[in-house]
Amino acid sequence: MKLDDLVRTLPKAELHVHLEGAIPPGTALKLAHKYSQLGLIDDIERMQAAILFRNYEDFRSYYQVCMQLIRSAEDFALVVYESGRDMRNQNIRYREVHISIYQHLHLWEKDLRLQDVFDGLVRGSQKAREDFDVEMQWIFGIPRHRHFSGPNGKFDPTIANTVLEYALQGREHGVIGLGLAGNEVGAPPEPFKVVFQKAKRMGLRSIPHAGETTGANSVRGAMNDLQADRICHGVRSIEDQKLVKELVECQIPLDICPTSNIRLNVYPAMQQHPFRELDELGVHVTINSDDPSILGSSLCDEYAAVAGEFGYTVDDLARFARNSIQASCATAELKTKYLSEISRWQVDHLTDMQQRTNNAS
C-alpha cells in the first residue's frame, strides 16, 4: 500500500485545526458568491492558488478573508458539516476545532449573535455525526495581539474576559477549551494568567498557541502562567533543553503542525523541523494541519510528510494516532473506541507487511 493510502486508512484525531482555515475550497467559493457584495470572490480564488506566504501577517490577511465568509448560523452549520465530510474522507474520527469567536461577533458588522454561532455549531456537528460518524468539540480563541495598546503596550484584559464568558456559555454546546492565538511577537502569554486561571477553575482546558513566532520563553510562559494542558505548536521549545525535559516530565503534549511551520517560515524546510528530535526526547507529540485549506496540506498530507521525511514506520504512525486520541478531550468511551480502531489498523497492516515479506522471500 502506498504511503498516502496507508495514512488515509489510519483512524486518528486532529487537535489543532482552525475552523476558518479549514473551509473546503468549494464551500469557500459558495459562500463568497452568496455574499458577492463583499467583493471577496477574487481574493478567495487567489488564496486557493497555492500562495507562498512571506510572513505571518501575509497568512493572517487571508485568514481574515475566510472569517468574513461565515456570517450566519446556517453558514456555521455548513462549514462544520463540510468539515465532517472531510474528516470522513481522511478517517479523522475526532476533531478539536479552534474558532476565532471574538472576531466573528465584533468585526465586519455581521449582525451575528452568540446563540447563532452555537446553533450552527450544534446543527452542523450533529448532522456530521449522523452522516459521517465523526465527533467535534470546540476551542474558543483569544486574539492575543488585540490586548496590547498605547505607546507602552499596556495590557487590557477586556477582550480576553469576553471570550472567556463566551466559552463558559458554550460548555453545553461542546466548547471544551480556551485558546490563545495570533502573532506572539509583542503579545506574551503571562498577562493572560488571571483569565486562564478562571477558565481552569470553571472546567475549561487551557490550550494556548506558544513557541511558534517567538521562542522557548513563550512555551515556558504558557506552561507556568497559563497552566497549559496542551500547547499548540510549541516547536521552539527545542531551543531550551531544560524546557524540553519539563515538557516530558509534566507530559504536556505539543500539537505540532509541520507544514504550517514551513509555510510560515518558522523553519526553512522539513529537514530542519525539530519534530523527530522532540519525539525522540520523549515529548508527547501530535500531528495536525492547522489551516489545511489555506496552507494546502491535509492531516493525511502531514502524516505522510513526517513519515516520508523522518523514516517513521507503521508502528510509529499508530503511535502518533494514539497520541492524538490520548491527548484529546474526548470521553473515555470514545477514547477506548478509537484506540481499539487504531490497534486493529496496526495489526492488519503489520500482518500485510509480513505477508509481503514472506512472498518476496
Q: List the chain pLDDT tens, one digit each, 361 residues.
A: 789 999 999 999 999 999 999 998 899 999 999 999 999 888 777 766 655 566 667 777 778 888 999 999 999 999 999 999 999 999 999 999 999 999 999 988 899 999 999 999 999 999 999 999 999 999 999 999 888 876 677 889 999 999 999 999 999 999 999 999 988 999 999 999 999 999 999 999 999 999 999 999 999 999 999 999 999 999 999 999 999 999 999 999 999 999 999 988 899 999 999 999 999 999 999 999 999 988 889 999 999 999 999 999 999 999 999 999 999 999 999 999 999 999 999 999 987 655 554 555 4
Residue 350 CB coordination number (10 Å): 14
Asked whether residue 331 is assigned to any structural domain, the reply reads: no
Strands (E), the chain: 12-18, 92-99, 135-143, 148-149, 154-155, 175-181, 205-210, 231-233, 254-256, 285-287
Asked whether residue 339 is assigned to any structural domain, the reply reads: no
Asked whether residue 358 is assigned to any structural domain, the reply reads: no
Which of 212, 246, 302, 309 is labelled catalytic? Answer: 212
Spatial contact of 184 and 217, defined as CB atoms under 8 Å apart: no
**Rounded distance, CA 306 to CA 312, Å?**
7
DSSP secondary structure string, 68-119? HT--SHHHHHHHHHHHHHHHHHHTEEEEEEEE-HHHHHHSTT----HHHHHH
pLDDT value at position 357?
47
Task: Please tell me what DSSP assigns to residue 17.
Answer: E
User: What is the domain range of residue 117?
Assistant: 13-311
Spatial contact of 211 and 189, defined as CB atoms under 8 Å apart: no
Asked whether residue 320 is assigned to any structural domain, the reply reads: no
Asked whether residue 38 is assigned to any structural domain, the reply reads: yes
- The tally of domains found in the chain comes to 1
Asked whether residue 66 is assigned to any structural domain, the reply reads: yes
Asked whether residue 319 is assigned to any structural domain, the reply reads: no
> Catalytic residue at 212?
yes
**Residue 198: closest CA among 163, 172, 232, 223:** 163
Asked whether residue 51 is assigned to any structural domain, the reply reads: yes
CATH of the domain at 216: 3.20.20.140
